[in-house]
Chains A and B, each alone.
Chain A
Amino acid sequence: MTATIEPEVGKSRLRKEDERLITGRTRWTDNIVLPGMLHLAVLRSPMAHAKIVSLDVSAAKDSPGVVAVYTAKDLDPDGSIGMPCAWPITPDMKAPRRPVLADGQVNFAGEGIAVVVARSAAEAHDALEAIDVEYDELPVVLDMEAALAEGAPLVHEDLGTNKNAFWVFDSGEAGTGGSVEDAISSSEIVVKRRFRQQRLVPAFMEPRACVVDPTGAQLTMWSATQIPHILRVMTALTLGIPEHKLRVIAPDVGGGFGGKIGVLPEEMMTVLIAQKLGKPVKWNESRSETMVTAHHGRDQIQDITISANADGTVTGLKVELLADMGAYNGLVGPGVPILGAFMFNAIYKFPAYHFACTNVFTTTTITDAYRGAGRPEATFGVERIMDELADELGMDPMELREKNWIKHEEFPFTTVAGLTYDSGNYEAATAKAKELFDYDGLRREQAQRRESNDPVQLGIGISTFTEMCGLAPSRVLGSLDYGAGGWEYASMRMLPTGKVEVTSGASAHGQGHETAWSQIVADQLGVPFEDVEILHGDTQSSHKGMDTYGSRSLVVGGVAVIKAAEKVIAKAKPIAAHMLECAEDDLEFAGGKFTVKGTDSSTTLQDVALAVFAAHDLPDGIEPSLDSDATFDPENFSFPHGTHLCAAEVDTETGSIKLRSYVCVDDVGVAVNPLIVEGQVHGGLAQGIAQALFEEAVHDESGTLTTGTFADYLLPSAADLPSFTTARTETPSTTNPLGAKGVGEAGTIASTPAVVNAVIDAVRHFGVNDIEMPLTPMRVWHAVQHGTTDAGGAGSEAGGGLGSIDTSGGAQ
């Protein structure tokens, strides 16, 4: 019955989660073994686009250990089941049905065609060999621009087009700013570039898996998912299962990065088969399956035009995107570019803005959310174009940023995209980053190396960024046609012994919720950190929620925990007053104790909990319970920001890149647990740097993913990455009572442009102004040899004054 005095929030607490994770006592979905459990294996199409002429599963049915083999017609005879898309971004968005198994036609290499159920996973996989499929090949559609051309082969013939949707925001029309066309025609300089966001694989370490047990009162589904609550709702709606007969559990989940947001055909088939057979069934994918069938991320072509005055004041920004959806709509895939629409103006006071996005179907794996979802793409675009503009103006790129960014005293600030940034201090973060980085010293060294024609050139890359976190305001999400709300839920139970059980609707997959939430609860209730247990990821204990993505857990879910705690205290107060024989108004609560003001008469919250349990002497009309539940739906997003600086050494003779130093100062508002914040930043940096330098999902001309294993897809190892210097400034968010802003995606968002800007900066004097990601030694060497502008050469944009520059295209 001790009360903590020193605040827990702000402490670098070691994680509660780690004990089980370091000792191998973790509960992964693939660890779940149930009596009589059967195993699934899915036959996947080697073709990217083909009619299925015939499909003979009879030999597979006779294979050893096989219990059943199903095709689309067996699992869904009516052809009525389609994977859901929760984000129909326009009323006329095309929504082709994505069946559980390919129904007469395959539309990407890896699409499931048949599923074998056997006594062991090995027997199920063996039997796949015995399935005979005859295909009639259709032309593949792999390039977004070709897909939109007149007469292009169609991914879905019945749609009559490969265009999924067209979405536009214009500041002139929205009344948030001026007309971009006016800005472009009247500005002194106009720069236009085309950037490509290559396709990436989220590459969480734990492959996806699903176990379904139909033998209980409820159908229980374990899944390696980020979204157990959404999955429950969507499974109920998709398969017509009464929601109250369905329990979804996300046990320990081995990473997600957005890649485990989805309602999977495999999850639906596991449910359907478990129901048909009346037995527990497990689907567990191999890494090779993950690579082709778990959704990919990014994959955009960005045509960006920026206009400015000769002094560097930006007058307008025009963004035209092509975004590859793959063969079908993902759960939130069509909305991913739109999240970016609000971030292209970044930290800047651009007076005019136009954003237009065309989503395109191709015969490839679907794309959907991947760490940052839309915001890394936008930040890359704007931070690259700012460097290009600085170069054309002959300005230091930092000076250009400082000239255009929102000043500390101007917050709250409503941007040209219509968002109101609550707080920020770009000056403070930048000053700290420059000092840690030795910005001026490195600039001097860069000049010396250029002068001496050093074969190893030095480049400095800047990325100043903000992002919108805390994906709630349900009303805002609704205005963007997102299908669900963004609130988050928590409940709290004071146990008779004074311990506290808390449930959260935000279900973690490595972020450390159990630790951070415990810190919050300890402060709110004044109970020891160790006395708090956080339960999540099970729709039975945490019966509602919106799950974890978009750096929303802490700033929405963490605040819901605060709201639940406030209710516990409010319920305890009249009981405490009764126990202390005083009026409620005479009581104050602090450090876990109710004290009669001005006296030393007090009782602890735990004492009240025990009194409630006994219920021998409660005030009249008071129910014997301190339990509470609460939701939080903030009125605005939160806006973390930061300044990232990268120094890259580029060997001009080999094209190889060495990251010499990487400094970032992130402002995540109040850091509940600085240790976790730092870890999140490190991991984010690794992913963003990997996009810049290493990773790319590549399809060959037949539509086969040639980077379909970890042997071909270059996930960086420890030896491929440098050490990072991280620091923080702290400008509390004003949109939530924690003052927290979110951190999960910051490192990924900021680091990709920092690294690319550094490399371009190192070799710009060779005439290079773009190199396509990933910056492989071959691409860098080629750019140094030829200069990028040689290969550009599209027409120029109208503009007056200093002239206009157009290097769309790029060398690679």
Chain B
Amino acid sequence: MRITVTVDGTKYTDEVEPRTLLVHYLRERVGKVGTVVGCDTSNCGACTVHLDGHSVKSCSVLAVQADGSEVTTVEGLARDGQLHPVQKAFRDNHALQCGFCTPGMIMASIDLLADNPDPDEKAVREGLEGNLCRCTGYQNIVRAVRDAAHHMSPGAGPEAEQIKHVGVGGE
């Protein structure tokens, strides 16, 4: 089937098999290997991307379902050489070790903050329940998300604008 998808701001038109998962399309056809596959049961969240502004596990979406949509991956977050505030917060708070879950965790965190700009610890923990990390024990991830929330709060400067940009699908 023929699909047209905008990925990280670039439009792609491709023939795909109906069974092709979005994650495989992104990795193998578009070359967005920043998005990774950690499981085959949609439990780990490593493959989380944004589809029209909302986080989805790209292993549970068919590429054909993304036809006509905007996809943002971790590779599309940084703008003009500036890290997205959530990316920066992950680095600043040592919220990653091996980094395999990190792209998905960052994408899920951005969506979480779009829904709830000032989550408490419990809200972050529950909000990230669908993303597994084996290295960090989550404590620094929670810290990073709350730190990012602080930096993106209204009046916090240009970073606050960036979340909006990505939060609606990078248009």
Whether A254 pairs with B136 at a CB distance below 8 angstroms is: no
B63 at the interface (CB under 8 A from A): no
CA distance A20 to B75 in the complex (A): 10
Q: Hey, which chain B residues are within 8 Å of A575, CB to CB?
A: none
A373 smallest CB distance to B (angstroms): 17
Interface size on B, residues (CB 8 A): 55
Q: What is the minimal beta-carbon distance from B156 to any residue of chain A, in angstroms?
A: 20
- Of the candidates A19, A28, A205, which one forms a contact with B44 in the assembled complex, judged by CB atoms under 8 Å apart? A205
B94 near A15 with CB under 8 A, answer: yes
Residues of A within 8 A of B43 (CB): 709-711, 715
A675 to B135, CA, bound (A): 14
Q: Are A24 and B98 in contact (CB under 8 A)?
A: no
User: Are the CB atoms of B98 and A25 closer together than 8 Å?
Assistant: no
Tell yes or no: A497 within 8 A of B by CB.
no
How far is it, in angstroms, between the C-alpha of A724 and the C-alpha of B142 when the chains are bound? 12
Q: Is A181 part of the contact surface with B, judged by Cβ < 8 Å?
A: no
Q: B43 → chain A, closest Cβ, in Å?
A: 4
Q: Is the CB of B33 within 8 A of A22?
A: no
- B149 at the binding interface (Cβ < 8 Å): no
Q: Which of B87, B129, B132, B136 contacts A710 (CB 8 A)?
A: B132
Task: Give Cα A252 to B36, complex, Å.
Answer: 13
CB neighbours (8 Å) of B92 from chain A are: 14
Chain A residues lying within 8 Å of B133, measured Cβ to Cβ, are: 205, 718
A15 to B140, CA, bound (A): 14
Smallest beta-carbon distance B30→chain A, Å:
12
Known A-B contacts A717-B130, A724-B137; the reply to A18 vs B90 at CB < 8 A is: yes
A30 to B34: give the CA distance in the assembly, Å.
Answer: 11
B101 at the interface (CB under 8 A from A): yes
Q: Are B39 and A709 touching (Cβ within 8 A)? A: yes
**0 or 1 for each of A674-716: is its CB under 8 Å from B? (1 = yes):** 0110111011111100000000000000000000011100010
A597 to chain B, nearest CB (A): 42
User: Whole-angstrom distance from the CB of A746 to the nearest CB of chain B?
Assistant: 13
Residue A295 is within 8 A (CB to CB) of chain B in the complex: no
Which A residues are CB-close (under 8 A) to B17? 122
Beta-carbon contact of B142 and A718 below 8 Å: yes
Closest-CB distance, A537 to chain B (whole angstroms)? 13
Q: If A719-B126, A724-B137 touch, does A22 touch B74 (CB 8 Å cutoff)?
A: yes
Q: Is A257 an interface residue (CB 8 A)?
A: yes
Interface size class of A (residues with CB under 8 A): 35 or more
A473 at the interface (CB under 8 A from B): no
A287 in the interface (beta carbon within 8 A): yes
Residues in chain B near residue A19, CB distance under 8 A: 91
Decide if B91 touches A14 in the complex (CB within 8 Å): yes
Question: Once the chains bind, are A24 and B35 in contact (CB under 8 Å)?
Answer: yes
Contact A254-B91, Cβ < 8 Å, known A24-B34, A686-B137, A709-B39: no
Q: Is the CB of B94 within 8 A of A28?
A: no
Chain B residues, CB < 8 A from A25: 34, 75
Minimum CB distance partner of B133 in chain A: A205
Once bound together, how far apart are the Cα atoms of A715 and B132, in whole Å? 8
Residues of chain B with a CB closer than 8 A to A28's CB: 33, 36, 100
User: Contacts A204-B134, A723-B139 given: A675-B94 contact, CB under 8 Å?
Assistant: yes
Distance of A749 from chain B, by nearest CB (Å): 14
- Chain B residues closer than 8 Å to A162, beta-carbon distance: none
Neighbour of A205 across the interface among B73, B77, B100, B126, CB < 8 A: B100
Q: Which single residue of chain B is at the shortest CB-CB distance from A688? A: B137
* B140–A204 touching, CB < 8 Å: no
Q: A508-529 interface mask toward B, CB cutoff 8 Å, 1 = contact, 0 = none?
A: 0111100000000000000000
Residues of A close to B124: CB separation below 8 A: 718
Chain A residue at smallest Cβ distance from B91: A18
Which residues of B (131-167) have their CB < 8 Å from a CB of A? Answer: 131-142
A718 touches B36 (CB 8 A): no
Report A-chain residues with C-beta under 8 Å of the C-beta of B34: 23-26
Any chain B CB within 8 A of the CB of A263? no
A255 at the B interface (CB under 8 A): yes
Judged by a CB distance under 8 angstroms, whether B10 is at the interface is no
Question: With the chains together, A723 CA to B96 CA distance in Å?
Answer: 16
Q: Which of A30, A710, A718 contacts B37 (CB 8 A)?
A: A30
- Mark interface residues in B13-27 (1 if CB within 8 Å of A CB, else 0): 000010100000001
Q: Is there an interface contact between B94 and A679, defined as CB atoms closer than 8 Å? A: yes
Q: Looking at the complex, which one of A20, A21, A711, A718 makes contact with B125 (CB distance below 8 Å)? A: A718
A206 at the interface (CB under 8 A from B): yes
The smallest C-beta distance from A192 to any residue of chain B, in angstroms, reads 35
In the complex the two chains form, is B38's CB within 8 Å of A682's CB?
A: no
| A288 partner residues in chain B, CB cutoff 8 A | 40-41
Q: Does A584 contact B (CB under 8 A)?
A: no
0/1 string, A375-410, CB within 8 A of B gives 1: 000000000000000000000000000000000000
Chain B contacts with A in 88-144, Cβ cutoff 8 A: 90-92, 94, 96-103, 106, 121, 124-126, 128-142
Task: Give A686 to B137 CA distance when docked, in angstroms.
Answer: 5
Q: Which residue of B lies closest to A22 (CB)?
A: B87
State the CA gap A257–B39 with chains docked (Å).
Answer: 17
Q: Which residues of A contact B98 (CB under 8 A)?
A: 204-206, 252-255, 509-510
CB of A599 within 8 A of chain B? no
- A31 sits at the interface (CB 8 A): yes
Q: Is the CB of A205 within 8 A of B128?
A: no
In this complex, the member of A30, A512, A683 whose beta carbon has the largest number of chain B beta carbons within 10 angstroms is A683
Are B134 and A22 in contact (CB-based, < 8 A)?
Answer: no
Cα of A682 to Cα of B143 in the assembled complex, Å: 13
CB-nearest residue of chain A relative to B77? A23
CB of B46 within 8 A of chain A?
A: yes
CB < 8 Å: which of A205, A680, A747 contacts B101? A205
Which residue of B27, B78, B97 contacts A683 across the interface (Cβ within 8 Å)? B97
Cβ B90 vs Cβ A710 within 8 A: no
- Max chain A Cβ within 10 angstroms of own Cβ: one of B27, B32, B41: B41
CB distance from B15 to the nearest CB of A (A): 14
A76 at interface, CB cutoff 8 A: no
Bound-state Cα–Cα, A288 to B10, Å = 34
Residue of B nearest to A205 (CB): B100
Residues A717 and B132 in contact, CB atoms below 8 Å apart: yes
Collect the chain B residues with CB atoms within 8 Å of residue A14's CB: 91-92, 94
**Contact between A709 and B137 (Cβ–Cβ < 8 Å)?**
no
Q: Judging by beta carbons under 8 Å apart, are A205 and B38 in contact?
A: yes
Given A510-B99, A721-B137 in contact, is the A22-B126 Cβ separation under 8 Å?
Answer: no
Q: Does A203 contact B (CB under 8 A)?
A: yes
Assess whether A23 is in contact with B74, with CB atoms less than 8 Å apart: yes
Asked if A607 is at the interface (CB within 8 A of a chain B CB), the reply is no
* B contact residues around A20 at 8 Å (CB): 99
Chain B residues in 8 Å Cβ range of A253: 98
Q: Tell me, rounded to whole Å, the shortest Cβ–Cβ distance linking B1 to chain A.
A: 15
| Least distance between A291 CB and chain B CB atoms (Å) | 9
In the bound assembly, the distance between CA atoms of A286 and B91 in angstroms comes to 29
Contact A685 B41 (CB under 8 A): no
- A511 CB contact (under 8 Å) in B97, B125, B138: B97
Nearest first, the 7 A-B pairs at minimum CB distance are A24-B34, A510-B98, A254-B100, A21-B99, A682-B137, A686-B137, A710-B43
List 10 additional A-B contacts (Cβ < 8 Å) besides A23-B83, A253-B98, A718-B128: A26-B34, A30-B33, A204-B98, A204-B100, A286-B40, A287-B39, A510-B99, A683-B97, A683-B134, A719-B125
Residue positions of B touching A, CB distance < 8 A: 17, 19, 27, 32-41, 43-44, 46, 73-75, 77-78, 83, 87, 90-92, 94, 96-103, 106, 121, 124-126, 128-142
Interface residues of A (CB under 8 A from B): 14-15, 17-26, 28, 30-31, 122, 203-207, 252-255, 257, 286-288, 509-512, 675-676, 678-680, 682-687, 709-711, 715, 717-719, 721, 723-724, 747
Provide a sorted-by-A list of 22 A–B residue pairs whose CB atoms are within 8 angstroms: A14-B91, A18-B90, A23-B34, A23-B75, A24-B74, A206-B36, A207-B38, A255-B135, A679-B135, A682-B139, A683-B135, A684-B137, A686-B136, A710-B39, A717-B129, A717-B132, A717-B138, A718-B124, A718-B133, A718-B138, A723-B121, A724-B139
